[in-house]
Amino acid sequence: MTRSAPSPDTTRPSGTVPPLPFADAADLVDRILDEVCRAVVGKREVIRLILAGLVADGHVLLDDVPGVAKTLTARSIAAAAGLDFSRVQFTPDVLPADITGSLVLDLTTRTPEFRPGPVFTDLLLADEVNRAPAKTQAALLEAMQERQVTVDGVAHALPRPFLVIATQNPIESEGTYPLPEAQLDRFLLRTTMGYPSEADEVSLLTERVARGTDEVALDAVCDPATFVRLQRALEEIHVDPRLLAYSVAVVRATRHSPQLVVGSSPRGTLALVKLARAAALLARRDHVGPDDIRAMAVPALAHRVVLSDDAWARRTDPEDVVRRAVDSVPVPDLA
């Protein structure tokens, strides 16, 4: 596993911080997006979605095959946003302590000393999380949820922001431990990177040849404290009460789908509204529109639902089920 400068810095701003003004927030998120797209070619829409999730202070799950720039995307976002970055490659023998850190006996002083794990960072890339045993997954998920790590009774707060991009290889392989459906709820959104288009792949190669190196040097356009203020700016994005009711109706529609044995929980409703606000900010709007909710429904909800056995047997795609649920709810007229 690789780490860069883990620092459980409790002196960073946390709790209530003043949000960035809307215009500044919109500019900042655009600059981060543009900077990341210098390194990751042809994935602007996916990166926009991932960035929306991170700005909404949520964790992101990427389901995709190897080699589609998942690590590059995470590293580039961290570099552009000025965040500390760590990467953990999950394997079947990774233990919980390898993630959270552990007490180690200092042989010279004979006293225990806490060695923080890679989770003490701003942006953690948890690669192939479905290759780790359930206990290790639980340790990570608990850290994601609680934003602190407890080792031998002592709680260690994680820095702010603390964001996780976890990846799963969808092709089942030896020793995989698929994340339980109940745990997938911890992720604000799930998406895939996908392969680039033919034109983008050619452009990628052309730029690489012209550049002469694999790495693209990115400039940090902000720092962690500013990123937290950017996240707080979402609270200033207005959501019409009718759209809140619309979000609830969409989520409730998933609970009534005959193809689902479990629909989305209220956590899904919260996630949907958060993502819709982030989408509005990325579109430089200070208010959420119905299209934001429709656009974010699948990434926010598809991983929170459980297919019925019949639907699973028929290879029904949960995303199609969520789409149908969205289409079944009439869009409110805000005029």
Residues in touch with other proteins (CB under 8 A): 92, 95, 97, 102-105, 107, 112, 135, 152, 171-178, 309-310, 312-315
Decide if 42 contacts 201 (C-beta within 8 A).
yes
What is the length of the chain? 335
Q: Which is nearer to other proteins, 238 or 314 (CB)?
A: 314
How far apart CA 29 and CA 52 sit, in angstroms, is 9
Decide if 52 contacts 275 (C-beta within 8 A).
yes
Tell me the two tokens of residue 241.
Answer: 């009460």
Q: Which is nearer to other proteins, 37 or 97 (CB)?
A: 97
Closest contact distance (angstroms) between CB of 103 and other proteins is 4
Q: Which is nearer to other proteins, 178 or 332 (CB)?
A: 178
Q: Which is nearer to other proteins, 65 or 283 (CB)?
A: 65
How far apart CA 263 and CA 273 sit, in angstroms, is 17
The C-alpha angle 271, 273, 279, rounded to 5 degrees, equals 100
Closest contact distance (angstroms) between CB of 335 and other proteins is 39
Q: Which is nearer to other proteins, 199 or 313 (CB)?
A: 313
DSSP state at residue 238: B
Closest contact distance (angstroms) between CB of 328 and other proteins is 21
Closest contact distance (angstroms) between CB of 108 and other proteins is 12
Closest contact distance (angstroms) between CB of 177 and other proteins is 8
Closest contact distance (angstroms) between CB of 140 and other proteins is 17
Q: Which is nearer to other proteins, 13 or 92 (CB)?
A: 92
Phi, psi of 67 (to 5 degrees): 85, 20
Phi, psi of 236 (to 5 degrees): -90, -5
**Residue 82: which region, alpha, beta or left (left: phi > 0; alpha: psi -120 to 50)?**
left
How far apart CA 138 and CA 153 sit, in angstroms, is 17
